[in-house]
Structure 1
Amino acid sequence: MAAALSLLAGVCACLWSPWLLPWWVSLILLIGAALCVWRGVASSQSRALLAGWSLAGLALAGLHAAHALALQLPSAPARHDAVVTGRILDLPEHEPRRSRFLFRVDDGVADARLRGRDLRLAWYEDDPARRSTLRAGQQWRFDVRLRAPRGLRNPGGADAEKFAMAQRIAAMGYVRSPETAIQLAPAHGIDAWRDAMSERIATHVDRPSSRFIRALALGDVRGLDDADWTVLRANGLTHLIAISGFHVGLVAGFFALIVRALWWSWPTLARRVPAPIAAAAGSVGGAALYTAVAGFALPTVRTALMIAIVAGLRGLRRRMSAGECLALAAFAMLLIDPLAALSAGFWLSFAGVAWLLWCLPDSGGNAVHDFLSAQGVASIGLLPVAAILFGQASLAGPLANLVAVPWWSLAVVPLALLGLGLESVHAGAGEWAWQLAAWCFDLSWPLFEWLAASPLSFWWLPEAAWFALPLALIGAFWLLLPRGTPGKALAALLWLPLLWPDRRVPVAGEAELVVIDVGQGQSVLVRTAQHALLVDMGPAVQDGFDAGGRAVIPVLHALGVPRLDGAVVSHGDNDHVGGWPAVAAQYPVPMLFAPDGVRLPGSRPCLAGRGWTWDGVRFRFLHPPVDFPYLGNESSCVLRIEAAGRSALIAGDIGEVIERRLAREQPASVRADVVLVAHHGSGGSSDPAFVAATGASEALVSSGHGNRFGHPRPFVVERWRHAGGAVHDTAMEGALRVRLERDGIEVEARREAHPRLWDAARRGDSRSAGLSYREDRDGRGPEG
């Protein structure tokens, strides 16, 4: 166990570092680690042994990370067109206007940079019948447009670049001409079987819960929508829905019983292979089979490794504790793939089992007591980890798991698996088992929907400091010590940095602007001591990207914003108002401003001169004036914010004509320390007279990385710099946090303040690298 922890420490030291060691340095470190381990084993020196494994973890993770990043396409040029042949991996996700899938390129394609690489592709077409022909395991020929993996970077947001590196995805892109795509070979393999079985369940089970049967039996979560995931997260049940390690254990035990029954029926078999060893081998085979059925999900792989280790020890006639088996499983997984430590499933899987083994080493013989104790231990022990990984805690989780774990695992899952087995033997034979599984599931689901709508549902937690997790884990360890341990009440204090972190709320009279990274669009959160205002909500496109749900709401949760006191929609273009429905659904806004020509329910016009004061901070609109016609960009609400003797200007998408008019008619109001550059830095804005009139020391640009409009234009950037302003761009720096304080102005860029290992390969890239928040499908789609 000490060796496994040492290896894990080395892996984490590499993956959590903002720097990537050159591959040859990692190779030298790996050789040194091997020498340390050899010396430790030869001389029985535990310090040398543990140091060797720590160094090995550091070196292995560095080599894997360097290899994964080397597989990716370079960020420049931004777009890479190619014709590729290959095979569809995993199950394609079919959405209203697109299908997404993982594609492995053949080794014989002309482009050497793509041979054998995994691509994340999208197929855009309005006709779903055409896209429905995509099946896992098929061979295809595609004309594709690719880009290097690139994602948004915000507080609380998902990190697409980390996911791409961990999954060894070389590029992301789309099929350029779907009509020219050619299927080269029919579907085959385990994924093709999973896809076919999923379709049979959907056909035979006429209940809405058939989507959950597919998820529990095959790990196919494509049928679950946002509402389903909300209920699951609110109840802390996501660990069960896509096949948990416990389900693998059930299948392994079932196979072991079958083998035992065969050996009991034919005793002569024991002369060749002892029954215990045969049962162990059967359990390994069952676990491996079910792991493949589940698509090799991490919890299933971890459980299969543990079962294989126990079976191997049984075959060698060696005894080992459950904790040592868990350590060996972690050891094996980290040696095979150190980048697995980047996934949330790795930490939840191993941490959950480790807590249970430490707190409940032996069964007390009372199944109900043991089950309740396990739920309590898991709830307390995993709460800090889940809070850091997901930014939320489910207060209903312990109660929901008391019902879901036994009912789903002992009734729903066995019936769903029985249906798979019967259906594999004869088409239609598994229908009754699937129908019964769906009926059993429907008995429990209303309870979970009720819990999700109750005050016991999940509690969003603001982003905590780095030391909050270790303190909370120490507090959990303290609370789970045996009865009679003194000072348990004090252990709760160690949870405070995690559950009630410092939200960095401005003091009275000061303000903070957060320019959210929404790609090619705009969204700005303005916070005062007791109030919050949201200016624009980013884009939402039919392709599935909604900045309101994907970027804005996670930022509000991460910053601990409990409510929005007001909102401003600068104008009616999609890249500014598209995310409004998603935001309004979770954050009802009592005060909404928009230009007179933008028709939003409950909105009032943002007329020049109208303003208000919150916590000593003054808000005032400078444009448009009364009776100004709605002219799209030119009618954008222009908002001035005055705090602590400083000022900021949010200019929307106004052009040069309006800028010159404001500079001429309101020179004192235009003067500002911070300016959100109009129209994302386009060539039709940032008039020289306006730039000079602002006198800004900080110029902020909200743009999409490598967007097809070329925003911000290089000459516009140079114009602001020549006027004395430092230019910051969300495309390159991620979300921007600007504080207007009495002592001065503080600007914090997300990528700089929270550097990541996978950023190392792209630091210093030119602006032309990558694409915007959405794929540029040959110029089609809404303009920025």
Structure 2
Amino acid sequence: MMVGRGSGLTPPRATLTLLAGVLAVQWLPRLWPVWLSLGLMLLAGLLALLAGPRSWWPACAVASICWAACWGQAGMDARWPRAWEGRDVWMRGQIIDLPQVQPGATRFLMDVHSLRGQPPWHGRVRVSWYRAPPLQPCQHWRLQLRLRRPRGLINPGTADSERSALEHGLHAVGYVRDPGMARRQGRSVCIDGLRARLAEGIAGQLPGRHAAALLRAFAVGDIRGLSEADWSVARANGIPHLIAISGFHVGMAGWLGAMLLQGLYRCFPGWGLRWPRPLATQTAMLVFAAAYCALAGFGIPCVRTLLMMAAAMLFRSLRRATRPATGLLLALAAVLLVDPPASLGAGFWLSFVGVGLLMYGLQENGHGLMAQVKEMTRGQWLMTASMLPLTLWFFGEASWVGAVSNLLAVPLISFVVVPLVLLSLPLLWLGTSAALILLWPAALVTDGLWWLLQWLGRWPGAHWHPPVPDLAALGLGTLGVVWLWLPRGLPLRWAGMLLLAPLLWPPVGRPAPGGFRIWALDVGQGLAVLVETRHHLMAYDAGARYPSGYDLGAAVVVPAIHASGAAPLDLLIISHGDNDHAGGAVAVAQAFPAARRLSGEPARMRYASRSCHAGQNWRWDGVMFRVLAPADDGQLAGRVHAGNARSCVVQITGSGGGLLLTGDVGRAQELALAGALRAQPAMLLQVPHHGSRSASGPALLDALRPGLAWVSAGWRNPFGHPHPSVIARYRQRGIQVWNTAETGALQFDVPPEGGLRPPLSWRQRQRRYWRE
């Protein structure tokens, strides 16, 4: 990167220009070819050389944009070919990272390449292996895989897994097709093998203790032993940055290396004649920090700290004075140059922005213990306020007790637990039981701290879920944070709170009386719908819960309820007991325990629920809700597994239109419904049974005459839903059909004045080049 005093392109400006260029690319809906990016970069460099220093800034901007676009397009081009999705291929690869053993399956990452006779391809793949043998990092396997491109669910308030795939260089996902034909082909030496050995050593030294899972995370970044309840406690206390290895832990590892070398120099003072002690101390600090970064998997916080330490060491060896902010900018530039897609991740922003705001906001307040305590307390409040815009943007929630929790957790974990764990690692590597001498007090402190954090996590405000802010609110909130921490003595610092208002209390557009809004969520092969009136909210079905523990109720439905701004939930209806409709219901019920609960099959529910039957009705804000099925005749009610026939069918009627929620009813139930239905203008229909051939009969469609309909189905699902004949039947009647597998979540608005419009597609609402 060309910088110079005459050009006005100083290193800080060059770094900020690089950041702006990289960010500009991440908002593009599509990218241009790699060859065009490389050509534009070459042209910009030539023009800068010919035109002189005045052209260096625009040349830097063009080069930054083209560099990020080149990386982004190369990442997309490296994904599994679309033409080979759904085919079985033989591949050879090495297991990387730490395999996750889950009920029924083992998930792991592999660096794979295709075998002879297959499409030439190499990439990183996330593999699921059902009933897998014990797997270890560094093993080489020959497997028959069925792969697809990384495609995730797109919903309001949830993480973008397709963006995460680009950020982490994940090129395909799939599963082992023929486990009996799998062949192990040796094992090599890699850092992940050492990580696994150390993690197993900690678990062996502390069998059955919850603290062992936390110590494994502190030591080598192994979070496999942490449950969703553990992460809930961490989020409630604002300490996820401490669970995995943070930048401060890397600095602690470097400090321990420096102290070790200082001790050796005292034992062997003659070493100072051959190698100066200051240079040796800095080198040891950097080596120990780099080794610990390798154990952590080179996450962004670790890399940032390591690069800052390297920059400080370089400037000191050159006898040049430097400020910590310079090291931070150099680390930022290095990360963006080496890995531009890293800017897509929350860790990138929380790491660099958090450290930058601490440098900006903390000031010297004298010496002594009380001054240090005061500054640490102020720093925790500063971090809590400063990280608020980013945590709401990336995670959709924040914690008001985080400042208190961090005052307790940061010193104990950083100055007590982590040093003890780090000192135990050599003993664990040697396999000696002496490591327990260090791990036992670390576990004791961790257990006590975790008990306290669980108590604090039950405080009011521990889990705060405002509606998801837009980009303008995020920008104003960030500006407000910077304003609040202007140097002392400047007037109107309190005005920064005004800029935080759109972030803390974002405007929420509610339906007018007599109208309602529908959120057809993207839950794959399942169903989950939210219906919002002026002052009420109903959830109809909650998606599936899989044997691996992945719960769509917790992962999709609950975050979508919070993101909509319509919470709390008033009513939860589960159409029937099949897993793809009822699996996530427990998570939704636990998140909103005050909500009433109805179900077509209450006997199959894992919580208390009233029976849903024809004749039930209620009115919310000028909108009428009627249950049309199942009939309360006792014929099916007594059957524990009546299934689809017991689906709870709900008709919703507003001033300007209506909606029919059908669950998984079949042709027989549709015939009974057809007589009870009256055609209404601008009617919406949830396509029965995901578009199966056994549903959506002519009788129902002719009786209802909907204007729009949607299918809730999984991408490339094995059932072939929706069936082409069903879609043809809708199109013959002029009914537009939308599919959540293609569009992501859908938002329908039914205003009281009528005039039904096409839905808002969540996949098209924020088009990005990494979206499938």
The answer to whether TM tops 0.5 is: yes
**CA gap 1:430/1:709 in 2 versus in 1, 3 angstroms:** same
Which residue of structure 1 aligns with residue 715 of structure 2? 705
Output one character per residue of 1:296-348: Cα deviation in whole Å (capped at 9) or x when no partner.
Answer: 12211111111111112222222221111100000011100001001111000
**CA gap 1:489/1:652 in 2 versus in 1, 3 angstroms:** same
Deviation at 1:181, TM superposition (A): 2.4
Deviation at 1:231, TM superposition (A): 0.5
Contact 1:672 1:694 in 2 (8 A): no
**TM-score relative to the length of structure 1:** 0.92
Deviation at 1:263, TM superposition (A): 4.3
Please state if 1:9 is matched with 2:39. no
Contact 2:90 2:115 in 1 (8 A): no
Q: Secondary structure at the match of 2:471?
A: coil
Farther off after superposition, 256-265 or 14-23? 256-265
Please state if 1:53 is matched with 2:54. no
Which residue of structure 1 aligns with residue 730 of structure 2? 720
Which residue of structure 2 aligns with residue 564 of structure 1? 569
Q: Which amino acid aligns with 1:111?
A: Q
Which residue of structure 1 aligns with residue 45 of structure 2? 34
Cα distance in 1 for residues equivalent to 2:45 and 2:241: 37
Pairs within 5 Å for 1:312-327: 312-327=314-329
Cα distance in 2 for residues equivalent to 1:657 and 1:442: 58
Cα distance in 2 for residues equivalent to 1:441 and 1:695: 62
Q: Secondary structure at the match of 1:467?
A: helix
Pairs within 5 Å for 1:300-699: 300-360=302-362, 362=364, 364-365=366-367, 366-425=371-430, 427-595=432-600, 598-600=603-605, 601-627=607-633, 629-630=635-636, 631-663=642-674, 665-668=675-678, 673-699=683-709
Which residue of structure 1 aligns with residue 143 of structure 2? 142
Please state if 1:64 is matched with 2:37. no
Which residue of structure 2 aligns with residue 189 of structure 1? 190
Cα distance in 1 for residues equivalent to 2:49 and 2:650: 67
Farther off after superposition, 323-332 or 717-726? 717-726
> Percent identity between the aligned chains?
39
Of 297, 300, 303, which residue of structure 2 is paired with 1:298? 300
Please state if 1:758 is matched with 2:770. yes
Contact 1:36 1:51 in 2 (8 A): no
Contact 2:656 2:755 in 1 (8 A): no
Output one character per residue of 1:693-751: Cα deviation in whole Å (capped at 9) or x when no partner.
Answer: 32222111111011111111122222212212221110000001111102522411101
Deviation at 1:136, TM superposition (A): 0.9
Contact 1:73 1:113 in 2 (8 A): no
Cα distance in 2 for residues equivalent to 1:688 and 1:247: 65
Deviation at 1:182, TM superposition (A): 2.3
Output one character per residue of 1:619-671: Cα deviation in whole Å (capped at 9) or x when no partner.
Answer: 012222231633422332221111122111112112223323332x2341677
Q: Which amino acid aligns with 2:702?
A: A
Cα distance in 1 for residues equivalent to 2:508 and 2:474: 16
Cα distance in 2 for residues equivalent to 1:749 and 1:77: 27
**TM-score relative to the length of structure 2:** 0.93
Output one character per residue of 1:459-500: Cα deviation in whole Å (capped at 9) or x when no partner.
Answer: 112111110111001111111113333333332121121111
Q: Secondary structure at the match of 1:724?
A: coil
Cα distance in 2 for residues equivalent to 1:39 and 1:550: 55
User: Could you say what the CA RMSD is over the residues aligned between the two structures, in angstroms?
Assistant: 2.1
Please state if 1:211 is matched with 2:222. no
Which residue of structure 1 aligns with residue 228 of structure 2? 226
Greater RCO (Cα-Cα under 8 Å, separation 6 or more): 1
Contact 2:336 2:342 in 1 (8 A): yes
Cα distance in 2 for residues equivalent to 1:459 and 1:69: 36
Deviation at 1:265, TM superposition (A): 4.8
Contact 2:128 2:176 in 1 (8 A): yes
Deviation at 1:15, TM superposition (A): 1.1
Q: Secondary structure at the match of 1:173?
A: strand
Cα distance in 1 for residues equivalent to 2:653 and 2:82: 40
Q: Which amino acid aligns with 2:469?
A: A
Q: Which amino acid aligns with 1:66?
A: Q
Q: Which amino acid aligns with 1:198?
A: A
Q: Secondary structure at the match of 1:644?
A: coil
Farther off after superposition, 475-484 or 266-275? 266-275
Which residue of structure 1 aligns with residue 9 of structure 2? none
Pairs within 5 Å for 1:87-98: 87-98=94-105
**CA gap 1:667/1:112 in 2 versus in 1, 3 angstroms:** closer
Contact 2:656 2:681 in 1 (8 A): no
Deviation at 1:363, TM superposition (A): 6.8
Cα distance in 1 for residues equivalent to 2:47 and 2:397: 42
Contact 2:692 2:726 in 1 (8 A): yes
**CA gap 1:263/1:195 in 2 versus in 1, 3 angstroms:** same
Please state if 1:239 is matched with 2:250. no
Q: Which amino acid aligns with 1:56?
A: A
**CA gap 1:106/1:687 in 2 versus in 1, 3 angstroms:** closer
Please state if 1:85 is matched with 2:92. yes
Cα distance in 1 for residues equivalent to 2:13 and 2:732: 58
Cα distance in 2 for residues equivalent to 1:585 and 1:467: 33
Q: Secondary structure at the match of 1:639?
A: strand
Cα distance in 1 for residues equivalent to 2:39 and 2:313: 36
Cα distance in 2 for residues equivalent to 1:295 and 1:718: 51
Cα distance in 2 for residues equivalent to 1:352 and 1:141: 44
Contact 1:512 1:527 in 2 (8 A): yes
Contact 1:671 1:693 in 2 (8 A): no
Q: Which amino acid aligns with 2:163?
A: K
**CA gap 1:37/1:224 in 2 versus in 1, 3 angstroms:** farther
**CA gap 1:489/1:234 in 2 versus in 1, 3 angstroms:** same
Q: Which amino acid aligns with 1:738?
A: F
Q: Please list every run of 5 or more consecutive structure 1 residues that lacks an aligned counterpart in the other structure.
A: 763-784
Cα distance in 2 for residues equivalent to 1:736 and 1:413: 46
Output one character per residue of 1:439-465: Cα deviation in whole Å (capped at 9) or x when no partner.
Answer: 121232221111001114121121111
Pairs within 5 Å for 1:105-144: 105-106=112-113, 110-115=117-122, 117-125=123-131, 131=133, 133-144=134-145
Deviation at 1:37, TM superposition (A): 5.7
Cα distance in 2 for residues equivalent to 1:193 and 1:238: 24
Output one character per residue of 1:504-545: Cα deviation in whole Å (capped at 9) or x when no partner.
Answer: 221221101111111001111011111111111111221333
Q: Which amino acid aligns with 1:205?
A: L
Contact 1:596 1:604 in 2 (8 A): no
Q: Secondary structure at the match of 1:453?
A: coil
Q: Which amino acid aligns with 1:120?
A: R
Contact 1:649 1:670 in 2 (8 A): no
